[in-house]
């Protein structure tokens, strides 16, 4: 089995799917290239980006500070991340983390005959912060940084207005998003971020998430813009108490999950965040 595959999505845009568990994106501008997320770190990312974009400088951005999206950061000198996930971006993977990653992400790949190289995750020497409204200009492509606390405090989305693209990290998926993690925000804060993204629905044609499982027949790695309002409205129903969800066991605690037309939201009923 292949460790990764590169999938062309549009002119100058590719998805890198790593062991079927996490997705990175490459955009080739006239002056610079963008690498969004570094995955688990099994992919030789410098070589892959160079093969797609040539020798131009590469701007590396993490959609958020979780290990399935930033473990390859040590392949680069500088990585950018949302300002509130900067502390997590310096973390070293512990032996306990390695066991958890093996169980959560790697077991299926190896059980199906896949062979993984030695895993050597780590942070970049320099972690630079991104703030709301910052711009990443590549030449021909200009991305606006949107701070969207929720799945993690420093989660960001990237909006490219001319090409009508929105890259959303783990903020919304084709299956239930984890909004119940210890490091996730209160659900009412997550709701506000999703409401903000829903305002971009008429301004985008394609939404690109950071994981891909497709039960709906969508084009690969591309979600329809209506998912933005589906998530905003669905999460608002949880926060208002209209949707009580169903039991969702996680880590020995009684979490709940509300399912939407596409995807859903796992949440901690003690962390809605409203009085």
Domain range annotation of the chain:
1-147, 172-207+215-275
Distance from chain centroid for Cα 146: 13
C-alpha distances out from residue 101 to 36, 71, 96, 113, Å: 21, 11, 9, 18
pLDDT of residue 70: 96
Per-residue pLDDT band for 135 (boundaries 50, 70, 90) equals very high
pLDDT of residue 88: 93
C-alpha distances out from residue 55 to 32, 34, 63, 124, 197, Å: 9, 12, 24, 20, 34
pLDDT of residue 166: 98
pLDDT above 90 (res 14): yes
Give CA–CA dist 260/245, Å, rounded.
10
pLDDT of residue 106: 86
Per-residue pLDDT band for 136 (boundaries 50, 70, 90) equals very high
pLDDT of residue 250: 83
pLDDT above 80 (res 215): no
Cβ neighbours of residue 165 closer than 8 Å, sequence gap 6 or more = 13, 158, 159, 204, 205, 206, 208
pLDDT above 80 (res 217): yes
- Rounded to two decimals, the pTM is 0.96
The highest-level CATH class for domain 1-147 is alpha beta
Rounded to an integer, the average pLDDT of 148-170 is: 98
Per residue in 32-71, pLDDT (tens digit) is: 999 999 999 999 999 999 999 999 999 999 999 999 999 9
Task: Give the range among 93-102, 174-183, 190-199, 255-264 with minimum mean pLDDT.
Answer: 93-102
CA distance between the termini of the chain: 51
Higher pLDDT, 23 or 119: 23
Per residue in 76-122, pLDDT (tens digit) is: 999 999 999 999 999 998 988 888 888 888 888 888 888 888 899 99
């Amino acid at each position: 089995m292949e460790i990764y595959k590169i999938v062309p999505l549009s002119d100058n845009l590719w998805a890198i799917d790593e062991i079927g568990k996490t997705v990175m994106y490459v955009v080739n501008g006239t002056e610079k290239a963008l690498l969004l997320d570094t995955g688990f770190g099994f992919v030789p990312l410098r070589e892959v980006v160079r093969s797609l974009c040539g020798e131009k400088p590469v701007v590396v951005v993490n959609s958020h500070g979780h290990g399935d999206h930033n473990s390859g950061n040590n392949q680069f000198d500088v990585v950018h991340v949302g300002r509130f996930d900067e502390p997590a971006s310096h973390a070293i993977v512990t032996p306990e983390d390695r066991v958890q990653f093996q169980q959560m992400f790697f077991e299926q790949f190896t059980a199906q005959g896949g062979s993984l190289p030695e895993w050597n995750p780590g942070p970049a020497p320099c972690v630079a912060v991104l703030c709301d409204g910052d711009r990443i200009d590549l030449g021909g492509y200009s991305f606006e940084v949107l701070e969207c606390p929720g799945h993690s405090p420093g989660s960001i989305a990237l909006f490219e207005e001319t090409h009508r693209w929105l890259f959303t990290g783990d903020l919304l998926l084709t299956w239930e998003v984890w909004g119940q993690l210890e490091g996730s925000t209160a659900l009412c804060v997550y709701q506000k971020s999703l409401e903000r993204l829903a305002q971009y629905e008429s301004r985008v044609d394609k939404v690109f998430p950071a994981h891909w499982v497709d039960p709906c027949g969508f084009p690969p790695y591309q979600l329809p813009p209506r998912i933005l309002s589906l998530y905003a409205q669905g999460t608002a129903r949880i926060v208002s108490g209209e949707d009580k969800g169903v039991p969702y066991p996680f880590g020995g605690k009684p979490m709940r999950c509300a399912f939407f037309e596409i995807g859903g939201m796992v949440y901690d009923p003690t962390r809605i965040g409203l009085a």
